Amino acid sequence: MVRLVLELVHPTKFIKSGGTATQILLADGSNKAITDFNTSIVPRAFQIDPADGIYWMCLAVLTIPNFTSNGLQISRSVAGCGIYLGTGNNINGTVQNQWKIVSQPDNFDQNPLGLTIGLSNESGSVNRGLRISADGNTLSFNGSVIAGTGVSNGAANGQVNYSAGNPILWGVNSTGTEGGFYSNRTNIYWRARTITLGSVLP
C-alpha cells in the first residue's frame, strides 16, 4: 500500500507586497508597469479614443525622448498615401461620402504628389476638393486657384475670386472693369462705382 502525503508549498521568495494590478513582478523582485510589456494597452494620456476596455478603436502616437522620428508617419506607396475619416473595422477601401486627406502618386492625373482634402469618391475628379500642389506654390478649391502664380485655370495674375468668378487683384493697379474691385491708383472702384472712404471718429 502506498501512502501519499500532500504538503502545501509556500514560495515566499516570490511574494511581493505593495504592487498594483497594473504592474508585473520581475525575477529580481522588482516590478514594472504592464504598459512597458503589453503594446495593446496604452496610457490614458495618449489615447485618442479613451473608451474603457475598447482598445481596437484607439491609436497611440508615443514620443520617445532623443529619438529622431517622433510623431505619426505615413509612407508613400505606389498607390499614394492618405488618411481616411469615417471608416470602420469592417470596411476595406473607401466608402461613399467618406472624407480623406491624400497625396496621390506621381503618375496620377489630378494633383500628382500634391495634397488633396476631399470626399473619397471625388478626390480623383477634376476640379474637386481643396488642393495644394506638389511644389507647395498653388492652393486651389474646386478648381479655382485661391493663391499661386503661373497657373492656367481659375484665377490668374495672383488674384482671388471672391464671388461668382469676380477677381480681387493683389499687387496690381488695374484700370479695367472686368472684375469686381479695381483701382486706378487714386480711387478704389467696385463694379465701376467709386468707393468712398472716410475717417471714423473714435
Q: Are residues 81 and 56 in the same domain?
A: no
Q: Are residues 105 and 89 in the same domain?
A: yes
Q: Are residues 98 and 127 in the same domain?
A: yes
Tell me: the pLDDT tens digits for 55-89? 444 455 556 666 655 566 677 777 788 888 877 66
Q: Are residues 113 and 133 in the same domain?
A: yes
**Rounded-to-5 percentages of helix, strand, coil across the chain:** 5, 25, 70
Q: Are residues 97 and 141 in the same domain?
A: yes
In the chain, how many domains are there? 3
Tell me: the pLDDT tens digits for 98-143? 888 888 888 888 888 889 998 888 877 878 888 988 888 888 888 8
Residue 3 lies in a domain: no
Q: Are residues 79 and 69 in the same domain?
A: no
Does the pTM of the predicted model rise above 0.85?
no
Residue 100 lies in a domain: yes
Q: How far apart are CA 136 and CA 138, in angstroms?
A: 6
Q: Are residues 40 and 61 in the same domain?
A: yes
Residue 63 lies in a domain: yes
Residue 7 lies in a domain: no
Residue 160's DSSP bridge partners are 168
Give me the sheet containing 115-119, strands edge to edge. 81-85, 99-103, 115-119, 130-132, 139-141, 144-147
pLDDT interval class at 4 (50, 70, 90): low
Q: Are residues 42 and 104 in the same domain?
A: no
| 82 or 192, higher pLDDT | 82
- Quote the domain boundaries for residue 135: 75-154
What confidence score (pLDDT) does residue 15 get?
54
Q: Are residues 87 and 146 in the same domain?
A: yes
Q: Are residues 183 and 128 in the same domain?
A: no
pLDDT interval class at 191 (50, 70, 90): low
Mean pLDDT of the chain: 67
Give the residue from 31, 46, 73 where a domain finishes. 73
What confidence score (pLDDT) does residue 36 get?
74
Residue 106 lies in a domain: yes
